[in-house]
A = this chain, B = another copy of it.
Amino acid sequence: MTTGTRRRMGVEERREQLIAVALDLFSHRSPEDVSIDEVAEAAGISRPLVYHYFPGKQQLYEAALRRAAEELTARFVEPHEGPLGARLLRVMERFFDFVAEHGPGFSALMRGGPAIGSTRTGAMIDSVRQAAYEQILAHLGIPDPAPRLELVVRSWVSLAETTALLWLDGRRVPRAELERQLVHDFAALAAVSAAYDDQMAEVVRRVLADEPADGMFADLVLRLGRFA
């Protein structure tokens, strides 16, 4: 019978609540500065009860991180319709949304704070990178890329990561500009690589065939042309 006291949560429901509370705390402050006491307080339960669900802060942190990784990976999903540049721009917008929402936690994680880092957190980060890589290949329609294409896509994923991290450090450049710039960077890196390799050139040509005359790549060539 409920008699005005708080309803007792089921095991899964309570775990989910703790993960959500922890993710929120870890997103707004460096995870190293968040204590289990704070998690307990924010969840409205006792410290021992938190330990009942998660044996330590590391386990709770990893569960929160897994949730964040799933959320970010979901944001990479984009319909296979329209010019590639516009698709990539929409994904970049959602990526920067995520980064803005989880700023301090994202920074601490990516800068590899050793106090909280582990083989498992490293593997989670790599799985997000891999998801981004595979999404791009799927949009390009090339599931099994040659080494040069793999290198361009993976290094661009890393560039997007670094750009977001640098942006977080003071947010001194408008994020909308960086989202657009990263799409241009992708085209530029692909085009530079295409100069060395016929298969890459074919990829770039095929992508451009779908680009509108006023699309992202045309804009890039115009911009570069100012310096030619």
Instruction: List chain A positions with a Cβ less than 8 A from chain B.
Output: 111-112, 114, 117-119, 122, 147-148, 150-151, 154-155, 158-159, 162-163, 166-167, 170, 172-173, 177-178, 180-181, 184-185, 188-189, 191-196, 201, 204-205, 208, 217, 220-221, 223-228
Whether the Cβ atoms of B223 and A191 lie closer than 8 Å is yes
By DSSP majority rule, is chain A's interface helix, strand, loop, or mixed? helix
- B residues near A180, Cβ cutoff 8 Å: 196
Whether the Cβ atoms of B193 and A189 lie closer than 8 Å is no
What distance in Å separates the Cβ of A219 from its nearest Cβ neighbour in chain B? 8
What distance in Å separates the Cβ of A134 from its nearest Cβ neighbour in chain B? 16
Partner of A122, one of B114, B188, B221: B114
Distance of A151 Cα from B223 Cα, bound (Å): 19
What distance in Å separates the Cβ of A30 from its nearest Cβ neighbour in chain B? 13
Closest residue of chain B to A146, judged by CB? B172
Distance of A39 Cα from B73 Cα, bound (Å): 43
- B residues near A205, Cβ cutoff 8 Å: 227
**7 examples of A-B residue contacts, CB within 8 angstroms:** A112-B122, A150-B166, A154-B162, A184-B195, A195-B220, A195-B223, A217-B227
- B residues near A226, Cβ cutoff 8 Å: 194-195, 201
Distance of A148 Cα from B159 Cα, bound (Å): 15
Whether the Cβ atoms of B192 and A184 lie closer than 8 Å is yes
- B residues near A117, Cβ cutoff 8 Å: 112, 114, 117
- B residues near A201, Cβ cutoff 8 Å: 226-227
Distance of A38 Cα from B194 Cα, bound (Å): 45
- B residues near A192, Cβ cutoff 8 Å: 181, 184-185, 188, 220, 223-224
Whether the Cβ atoms of A227 and B194 lie closer than 8 Å is yes
